[in-house]
Structure 1
Amino acid sequence: MPGRLTGSARAVSPRNQRIPSVPTLARFLREAQTAVKLRGQVTVLLTTDTAIRRLNRQFRGKNKATDVLSFPAAQGPVKIAGDLAISIPTARRQSEERRHSLSIEIKVLILHGLLHLAGYDHEIDTGEMARHEQKIRSRLRLPHGLIERTMRSRTKVNAPSLPESYSGKGRRPRNPGGVRS
């Protein structure tokens, strides 16, 4: 079932910071869902830092804005994979820091969120989600993903490449109530 939407490095200009069209993002969502092998409807909400902070506080107990939240759907007769919420102001800041377009950053965030909907969790695995994200990003011609960025910044400050909280093996069972970032 195709997803639906609501709401290469180059110099950053105002034109590169425009929100991509719904057809452009819907096309990417279908392509990324196929690459992730995630079946079912996915709804993507493009929102504000204030709204995503509220969702993050309500569902994860973290009172801060974030770039993407994933809401896996409860399993039922209708095939719905879940919902993603993406903060446009955060995505815009991250795209400027990385000197690529807002469109590219939103696509990176969609891919990351889809992997969470598929059951991957970088907070508890031993790098499986990061490896899978890297492989798919390469196929979709996207720059560094969220996990890889985090790992690079930790390496720069001589921190361990994987947080001590990483344990377990890869994908966790679908957790309908579990929101992930």
Structure 2
Amino acid sequence: MNTLFPIFVKAENLHVLIVGGGYVGLEKLTALLGNSPEARVTLVASEIRGEIREMAQQYPKLQLIQEPYHSLYLSDKDLVIVGTNDKAVNRLVQEDCKARRILVNVADTPDLCDFYLSSVVKKGDLKIAISTNGKSPTFAKRFREVLEEILPDSLQETLENLTAIRNQLKGDFVQKMEKLNEITKVLR
């Protein structure tokens, strides 16, 4: 049973540390900045891929530090994502995060994760996060692709119309909710 509690984080209000500058680090950084381009991110790694360096040119809030990981890099961080090819470093970062009560994700190691990164479907302002409870990121990715294909691009227009209606409704919260539920019944 999947007991994960899904949340959407305002990453632009956080300082995120990514440890790892290889392919996995690139993948995690791309996902983070693709969803939250204004996120403040520090990436620490002994070696940093060229694609990551190119991203740093596009994202002024992305800081690259080409050095081995040290616990000092956890100072002032709110969230940590680890993706190195060194299991000992990954475990060390996780232990350091636990000691400081910082939430951490260690790529491909569910037992060391406080949270999982979901596969995300985006259609305008609509975002749907998909989780397999860490069991199969590949399945989540494929399912995301299916949803992206079947969800119409016109959903953004629908969301804007519903926002306009909600803003014009009178009454208390319950009355507004009842009216919006009545209007959106057609989505069943």
Q: How high is the TM-score relative to the length of structure 2? A: 0.21
* Structure possessing the higher radius of gyration over alpha carbons: 2
- Flag the structure with higher strand content: 2
Higher RCO (CA 8 Å, separation ≥ 6 residues): 1
